[in-house]
Structure 1
Amino acid sequence: MTVYVDDVRHSFGRMVMCHMWADTRGELLAMALRIGVSHRWIQEPPNASWVHFDISLRKKALAIKAGAVLTDKYGPVEHTARLRGDQAKLDQIARIRAEQPKERLL
């Protein structure tokens, strides 16, 4: 089981945010507690596509230091496709990644 953070950068006021999610809700909430993110900020259906937190880049660094895996911008789509068993979407993501030049994440 794993916690993930992506390399997206969304502005929220003066902060820059990314996403944090996990294979299980329990693991996600444990990481949130560990890095100081209030559970009240959890995003989940029907208001979000998947269960996750929007976290600041400072919290992202803490999560990575605590063992979270850094993914690219397709990580959340890949995660939801896995949950749904959508092999066609997983194949599409793999093709897109293979066609892109390797970029440094962070």
Structure 2
Amino acid sequence: MTVYVDPAVWPFGRMLMCHMWADTLDELLGMADRIGVQRKWIQGHPTLSLPQARKASWVHFDISKAKRALAVSAGAVETDQFGGLEWQARRQIASTDPAIVLIGEARLARVMEARRARETQGSLL
């Protein structure tokens, strides 16, 4: 089981934020506690039982670059900007619902294509 962070490239005011997510809710909340991120900032909590939880399509925290560095020091795995989408796609592919598997496979194919396009752009510079 793992905690992940993508690059800090998402603007929020004058800050650059990143996403932090994990294979399990316990791991995610444990890392948030470890690096000093308040649980009230969770997004997409599956039960939305936390009244302050923001709606999102997946369970994660938006964290600052400084908190990202702390998470990486505490063992979080760094991904590229497509890491969250890939993680979601692989979870869908692992589903037992054939319709969800197809959605995950299509999503994963788009992620891989975006990565290839990005690599091609980089090699042209």
- 2 CA distance for matches of 1:82 and 1:51? 15
Q: Percent identity?
A: 54
Structure 2 runs not aligned, ≥5 long: 49-54, 94-103
Matching residue's letter, 1:17: M
Determine whether 1:11 maps to 2:11: yes
SS at match of 1:18: strand
Give the RMSD, CA atoms, in angstroms: 1.9
SS in 1 for 2:119: coil
Unaligned runs of 5+ in 1: none
Aligned counterparts of 1:72 and 1:25: Cα–Cα separation in 2: 21
Higher normalized contact order (CA 8 Å, seq sep 6+, divided by chain length): 1
Larger radius of gyration: 2
Q: Is 1:64 aligned with 2:72?
A: yes
Whole-Å Cα distance in 2 between the matches of residues 11 and 89 of structure 1? 24
TM-aligned CA deviation for residue 8 of structure 1: 4.2
The TM-score normalised by the length of structure 1 is 0.86
- For residues 22 and 63 of structure 1, what CA distance do their matches in structure 2 show? 12
**C-alpha distance in 2 between matches for 1:78 and 1:35:** 25
